[in-house]
Copies of this chain bind each other. A is one copy, B any other.
Amino acid sequence: MDELIKTFKALSEDTRLRIIKLLEGGELCVCDIVAALDIIQPKVSFHLNVLKEAGFLKDRKQGRWTHYRIDDTDFFRRFLLVSVLERIPKEALAADRKRLETFMEDKPVRDNLVSLPEKKRCAGRCR
């Protein structure tokens, strides 16, 4: 029963649902999420960890960055995620999406690194 409670509790918080909605578009590193949500990094890390511990996210370390993505290996959690995604209207989190886009576009440093091996690049404007 504890696992079930942990599962639902992970989905019972605003910031975490915003993260899920962001990751609908694919993998992001922590700094991308920080920029998109416009909240401080330890707060983002805290919530990412709650979602990960509950089995909703997977992480992938790459150099200095940690990339998070939706973990869709479990059927029940996958159903819950889809339910969440379809119940949050696109316009509700438009600001998050907008900040993410701006952050992604406005990355002069990344452009300089496009030719470097994947290991050294970040999806955002990280150096």
Contact = CB atoms under 8 A, between A and B. Distances in A.
A19 B1 CA distance: 13
A46 interface: no
Given A1-B88, A8-B8, 7 more contacts: A1-B14, A1-B92, A4-B84, A4-B87, A5-B11, A8-B12, A9-B12
A75 to B, nearest CB: 11
How many interface residues does chain A have, given as a range? 10 to 19
Interface of A: 1, 4-5, 8-9, 11-14, 17, 76, 79, 83-84, 87-88, 92
> DSSP majority for the A interface?
helix
A13 B5 CA distance: 6
Contacts of A76: 83, 87
Nearest to A16: B5
Contacts of A83: 76
A17 B79 CA distance: 20
A47 to B, nearest CB: 13
A3 B23 CA distance: 21
